[in-house]
Amino acid sequence: MISPLRVLLIGLVLAAVTGHPAALAQTPPQRDIQTALAERLPRGWEVASLRIEATENRGSAVTPRILSRFVAELRLRETTYREAGRLDGILVLQPALTPGARRTLHGIATSVLYAGRWSTVVEVQGDPFAAAGRLRGEFLPPTLVEGTPEYAAVRDRAVAAMQQRVADERDRRARMAAIFGDPPRILREVPELAGAFIEPSRNRVTPFRLVFQSRDLEAGTFTAEMIWPVSGSVLSARGRIVENRLELAETGYVRNPRGRSPQFESYRGTIEPAGIRGLVCREPDLEQPCRPSDLRFTLSLPMTASETSAARQ
C-alpha cells in the first residue's frame, strides 16, 4: 500500500514534468524579470527582448528563492552624449549613440514568493553601458551639442572675444612700452598703476593699486595711495622716479580694517618696457640702503574697462 505522502510527492513530480499549473506557480513569470530589469536601466534604454537560459530554486517548495540566468537585448530610445570639453565656459557634448542602438546584457534575477506575489531583484553582470553616454538632460546645464548652429554661434563669439583680448593685450603692451620707455611720462600721463605683491616662499601673489595723489614733474617725486582690495587696507606712500628707477615708501595707514601694527616697507624697482620689477625692502626710509627681503613686486598699466570686461567673458 502506497502512503499518502508518497502519493503527494509523485503528484508534484508529475506536475513538474507535465507542466501542470501547480508546478509553474513555483517560478516567476518572465515579464516580472523583464519589469525588474527595466527599472535598473539608465534613462533612455528599454528591454527589446529577454531570454531565460536557466533557473534554480535555492530555497524550498514552501519558501522558493528562484535564481534565473538571463540574457536581454536592450534598445536605445533617445540620443546619448559624452563630454567633449568646454567652450566659453559652457560644457560641450558630442553624440555618443543614436536611437535604435543595441546592447546585450547578461544578468541574474533572484525572485522570492511573498503574499502570493513574486518579488524580483536583478543583478547586471559586467558593464554593458560602457562608453554609452548619457541623455543631454542628465548633464548640468548649460550645455552645447557639437556641430549644432547654437554651438557654432557660441564658438564664433568666443573666437572673436579671444582675438579681441589678444589685440587689446598687444595694444596695452605697446602703450606700456612707449610710456615706460620714457619714465617721466609715467607721472605725466598715468593716473594709477596695477601692482602685484609677490611672496615666493608662500607661492602667493596679492594685487594692489598704486593711485597717484600728487606729482612734482620737475623733481620726479609723487605721493600716492596703495590700495589693497583683499585686506581692505589703504596706505599712504611717497616716492620718486630717477632715470630708470622707481622707489616707493609706505608712510602710514589711511585705512586699517584689520588693525595691523605699523611695519612699513619700501619698494625699489627698475623701469623696463614691459613694466616695473623690483625688491621689497625692510627699510622704509628711501635715503637708507635697502635691507632686502624675499618679497618682490611688479607694477604695470592697469587694464582698461573694455579689456577687463573682455577678460571676464
pLDDT of residue 8: 39
Q: How far apart are CA 78 and CA 34, in angstroms?
A: 20
Determine the Cα–Cα distance for residues 251 and 118; give it in Å rounded to an integer. Answer: 85
Predicted confidence at residue 98, as pLDDT, reads 97
Task: For residues 169-188, give the mean pLDDT.
Answer: 92
Taking only the tens place, the pLDDT of each residue in 33-64 is 999 999 999 999 999 999 999 999 999 999 99
Reference 231, options 210, 252, 259, 251; nearest CA is: 259
Per-residue pLDDT reduced to its tens digit, 243-270:
999 999 999 999 999 888 878 999 999 9
Closest CA to 111 of 68, 47, 70: 68
**pTM greater than the 0.75 cutoff:** no
Q: What are the pLDDT digits (tens) for 131-140?
A: 999 999 999 9
The pLDDT score that the predictor gives to residue 10 is: 40
pLDDT at position 20 over 50? no
Where do the domains of the chain lie?
A: 15-146, 166-312
pLDDT confidence tier of residue 189, bands split at 50, 70 and 90 = very high
Fold of 166-312: Lipocalin (2.40.128)
Inter-residue contact 258 to 271 (CB < 8 Å) = no
Identify the pLDDT of residue 304. 66
Q: What pLDDT, on the 0 to 100 scale, is given for residue 26?
A: 78
In this prediction, residue 277 carries a pLDDT of: 96
Which cell is 16 given? 513538474
Q: What is the CA radius of gyration of the chain?
A: 38
The answer on pLDDT for 167 being more than 80 is yes
Mean pLDDT on 201-206: 94
